Every structure is written in C-alpha cells, then in structure tokens.
C-alpha cells in the first residue's frame, strides 16, 4: 500500500465515508484549479455532503498531510485575497490594505478571514504550487480573486474582455511601453503579485496629443495615488523593479467591474471553524498565539449549569452523583457537536459552548432540554435540572491556559443570563430571539419567548431577557 493510500485508510476511519469518497474523487478527477483553495461550502454543495461532515473530513485530511489549510484575508470591497496564512497565528489585528480598493480594513474572523484547503504536493502536484508558472489570468483568478468570488469560466473571460484594456507580464527588472486610448472612465492599473496600484481619474476634454505616463512596481501593498488626466492617447511605461514577475493589468473601474465583483460566494469563515468541535479537538492548543486577540463581530454563546447539584451530591452520594454529572456532560457534548457548535470549557458543573449563529445555539438549547428529560427518565427520576442561557454579540478570540477562548462583555452577559434561568427554562437575549431563523424555530416548535426586564450583576444597563418555558 502506498503512503497516500494508507493515509486515506486512516482518513476513512476518522471521517464521514461519503465526505472522504468525495475528496478522493476530487483529487482523482478535479482540475488543478478545483484543487487550489477549495471553498468547502461549494465542495459540500457540489458533492451533496453535509457541510459539517465535509469540514470535519478536510480537517482530518489536513492533519494527515493530504491538504494544506490557508487562512485568507478577504477584502470586503473587492473580494480579493489580501494575504494568505498557513496558520491563524500570523493574522494580525491591524488594518489589511487593499491596493485595488485603496482602503484598509481591520480584520474580523467572521467577515474577513476565510479558511480554504489546497491539495498537498505530496498527494497531487497542481500548477498553483508554483504560482510563478501560472498563466497571467490563472494567477489573477486563483491567487487574487480566489474562492470568494463567484466566477465561472465564462464570466471570468467576460470580465477580462469587457473591463481590461491591457495586460502585460513583466519579468523582474523588465520595462515595457503600452499605447492606450484612455476612455472617459476611472482607470486602475493593478498588479496582484505585489498588490500595488495606480489610479487614473480620466475626465475632461479629450486630448489629441499623446501623453507619457509611468507606473513603477517597486514595493508590495502600495497604492501610488490618483492622477487626474484627460481622455485620449497615452504611452504607459510599466517598470518592474522587484525581484519577482509582476502581472499588471489596466482595468476600467466602472459598473461592469463592480457588478462582477459583487457576486460573492459564501465561504467557510475562521469564526465558524473555531467553533467547530473537530477543529477544537484536533488543533486544541494551536489556534492562536498567547498574546493574540482577534475580533469577531458575531458569536453565539450558550452557558448551562445544573440546578441544585450540591443537593444532588447530598441526596444520592458522591459516587452516584458523579456518575450522573458525567452522563450529563456526555449528553451535552453530543448535542453541541450535533448542532455544529463547540464546547469551549466546563467550569464545575457548568458548560460554555459557542455557535456561529443564534439559531444553532437555540436549537442546541432545545435539544439539550429534551436530552436531559430522557436522561432523567432513564435514571428513574428528575434528579438533574439544566439551566440554560444564550446571548449573541461581538467578542475577541484569545488563548487562555493553552485553550482557544473568548473574551468580552458578550461572554459576561451570556453567563449572567444563564444565572437568571430557573429549572428547565431557557433564557435568551433580544439578539437571539429576534434572529429570523431562531424566531422561526420557536414559532414552529410552538414556543413563546416571554420578555422580562432584568438587571445583571456587573452590567450597567437593565436588559430585556426572554424566558422560553
């Protein structure tokens, strides 16, 4: 058996059968492009595999060295990849600058950081493993507008023919002159290798004489400014003073380009991956550096606690109580994983779990309540009552005690809201019950969320919390 075959054998033992079969098919039959920076949500839809199972399978495959993960910074403006990192550890908090948009963006793990997977050269060699060998437009398509833009072969070719006036490959040190007729439009010269750009604001009376313009590529991530110029003939000198080839093209930055770049794909966010149980299990202590803090605009927190667990120990004795509490943790872990969440930690008899959307957290809460009733029935008595609280909001991802954890007022509020819950009730905040998918879920379960005003310890303002009885 070859090394690859034996790795796939191991993969089959740890991941979903259909997902692994789809991965094998992709490696065998997929084009080079299809194996570079794979968008897992696309992959799951195309191969008819559950998204969570596809994510788990690719995580295991990466652990086995069959694929390489990439944490990509996607520009919110143009969908281009501003930076690609082998780990989340090299993603920094400061602005990422997009030369094409001439704008800087502070990264958030749920809006800007995408996780994609590329086949390992050990498994199959693809052109993107040597980016310098990629043809001009393949480079732009695979390395800059990668998994975030919904391009088909036709729509990409259409973009190039409709909005690109000129494109030229310049080896290191090379210089080239192109003659152009500048239309009365906003023009951008952009190179995706160095991520640098020069803007031309073309307006006014058309000029008859030819003008000389020049763009020198000499550094990375640079915007050389905007030059106002009249329409008409120009000689554009393009010079590469870097030690790598550059691939500048002259784009008409009009409605056609904006329209094409507005067609975004949904992608696997870093936030979603961090709140995936398989990721947490495999990459336990390896997601973030100790002093790293990354922003998340929305994460849903679920806290549970056992009501009266002290009395439980008193009533049934340590051994039986310990056994019951352990069984309850088993049930909660199963429910969290089944609802696409992750257990961040347990504190005594309490559990803190995260979900990428409020409806998943609410589904888990309802599921937990049913599972606890069943567990109690199996144990012949209602010995364990679970109190649950849910809240959604912004937070920071951090590493505490070798563990990926979350920090911020959203986390504090979620814990306090849990403290309000009585036996078997679920307490949730406004952002949770007003989430469209969550409120649909409540309606279809015939459940009503009853509002009440609460003051929470350590939180200045009164808060409306909802009891789901």
Q: Is residue 332 part of the contact set for Zn ion (CB under 5 A)?
A: no
Task: Kindly indicate which of the ranges 10-18, 80-88, 326-334, 414-422 contains the residues binding Zn ion, using the contact rule CB under 5 A.
Answer: 80-88
Torsion, Cα 274 279 281 284, to 10 degrees, reads -60
Tell me whether residue 80 or residue 393 sits nearer to Zn ion (CB atom): 80
Task: Kindly indicate which of the ranges 92-100, 133-141, 228-236, 383-391 contains the residues binding Zn ion, using the contact rule CB under 5 A.
Answer: 92-100
Q: Is residue 188 part of the contact set for Zn ion (CB under 5 A)?
A: no
Residue from the set 69, 98, 236, 363 that interacts with Zn ion by CB under 5 A? 98
Tell me whether residue 164 or residue 420 sits nearer to Zn ion (CB atom): 164
Residue from the set 49, 101, 296, 363 that interacts with Zn ion by CB under 5 A? 101
Token look-up 């008595």 returns 381
Q: Is residue 257 part of the contact set for Zn ion (CB under 5 A)?
A: no
Taking the complex as a whole, how short is the minimal distance between the CB of residue 79 and Zn ion, in angstroms? 7
State the number of CA atoms in the 13 A half-sphere of 360 facing the CB: 21
Token digits of residue 323: 């056994």
Residue from the set 77, 131, 233, 419 that interacts with Zn ion by CB under 5 A? 77
Residue from the set 100, 342, 362, 365 that interacts with Zn ion by CB under 5 A? 100
Taking the complex as a whole, how short is the minimal distance between the CB of residue 222 and Zn ion, in angstroms? 14
Task: Kindly indicate which of the ranges 44-52, 69-77, 122-130, 440-448 contains the residues binding Zn ion, using the contact rule CB under 5 A.
Answer: 69-77
Tell me whether residue 94 or residue 209 sits nearer to Zn ion (CB atom): 94
Taking the complex as a whole, how short is the minimal distance between the CB of residue 326 and Zn ion, in angstroms? 51
Among the listed residues 255, 253, 141, 262, the one whose alpha carbon sits nearest the alpha carbon of residue 199: 253
Taking the complex as a whole, how short is the minimal distance between the CB of residue 41 and Zn ion, in angstroms? 21
49 touches 16 (CB < 8 A): yes
Rounded (5°) CA angle 212-214-219: 175
384 touches 312 (CB < 8 A): yes
Task: Kindly indicate which of the ranges 40-48, 96-104, 212-220, 274-282 contains the residues binding Zn ion, using the contact rule CB under 5 A.
Answer: 96-104
C-alpha dist (Å) from residue 57 to 42, 66, 266, 278: 15, 11, 19, 9
DSSP secondary structure letters along 339-398: TT-EEEEEETTEEEEEESSHHHHHHHHHHHHHHHHHHHHHTTS---EEEEEEEEEEEEEE
Q: Which of residues 358-417 bind Zn ion (CB under 5 A)?
A: none
Token digits of residue 266: 């949904």
Q: Is residue 78 part of the contact set for Zn ion (CB under 5 A)?
A: yes
- Residues contributing to the site for Zn ion (CB under 5 A): 75, 77-78, 80, 98, 100-101
């Amino acid at each position: 058996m070859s090394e690859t075959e034996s790795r796939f054998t191991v993969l089959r033992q740890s991941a979903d059968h259909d997902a692994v079969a789809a991965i094998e098919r992709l490696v065998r039959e997929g084009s080079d492009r299809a194996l570079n920076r794979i968008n897992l949500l696309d992959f799951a839809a195309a191969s008819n595999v559950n998204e969570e199972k596809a994510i788990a399978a690719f995580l295991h495959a990466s652990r086995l060295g069959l694929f390489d993960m990439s944490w990509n910074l996607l520009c919110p403006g143009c969908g281009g990849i501003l930076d690609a990192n082998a780990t989340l550890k090299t993603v920094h908090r400061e602005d990422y600058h997009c030369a094409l948009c001439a704008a800087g963006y502070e990264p958030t793990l749920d809006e800007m950081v995408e996780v994609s997977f590329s086949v390992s050269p050990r498994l199959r060699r693809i052109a993107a493993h040597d980016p310098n060998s990629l043809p001009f437009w393949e480079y732009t398509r695979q390395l800059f507008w990668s998994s975030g833009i919904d391009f088909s072969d036709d729509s990409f070719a259409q973009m190039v023919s409709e909005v690109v006036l000129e494109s030229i490959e310049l080896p290191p040190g090379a210089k080239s002159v192109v003659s152009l007729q500048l239309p009365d439009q906003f023009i951008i010269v952009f190179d995706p290798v160095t991520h640098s750009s020069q803007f031309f604001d073309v307006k006014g009376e058309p000029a008859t004489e030819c003008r000389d313009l020049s763009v020198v590529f000499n550094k990375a991530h640079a915007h050389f400014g905007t030059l106002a110029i009249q329409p008409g003939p120009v000689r554009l000198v393009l010079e590469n003073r870097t030690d790598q080839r550059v691939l500048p093209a002259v784009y008409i930055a009009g409605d056609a380009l904006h329209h094409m770049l507005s067609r975004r794909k949904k992608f696997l966010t870093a936030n979603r991956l961090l709140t995936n149980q398989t990721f947490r299990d495999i990459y336990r202590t390896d997601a973030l550096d100790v002093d790293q803090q990354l922003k998340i605009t929305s994460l849903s927190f679920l806290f549970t606690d056992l009501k009266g667990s002290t009395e439980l120990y008193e009533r049934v004795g340590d051994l039986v109580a310990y056994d019951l509490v352990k069984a309850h943790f088993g049930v909660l872990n199963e429910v969290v994983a089944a609802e696409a969440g992750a257990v961040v930690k347990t504190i005594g008899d309490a559990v803190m779990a995260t979900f990428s959307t409020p409806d998943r957290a609410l589904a888990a809460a309802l599921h937990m309540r049913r599972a606890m009733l069943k567990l109690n029935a199996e144990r012949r008595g209602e010995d364990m009552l679970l109190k649950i609280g849910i809240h959604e909001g912004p937070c920071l991802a951090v590493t505490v005690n070798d563990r990926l954890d979350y920090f911020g007022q959203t986390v504090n509020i979620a814990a306090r809201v849990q403290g309000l819950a009585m036996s078997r009730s679920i307490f949730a905040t406004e952002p949770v019950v007003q989430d469209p998918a969550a409120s649909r879920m409540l309606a279809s379960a015939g459940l009503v969320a009853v509002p009440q005003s609460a003051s929470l310890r350590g939180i200045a303002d009164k808060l409306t919390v909802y009891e789901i009885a």
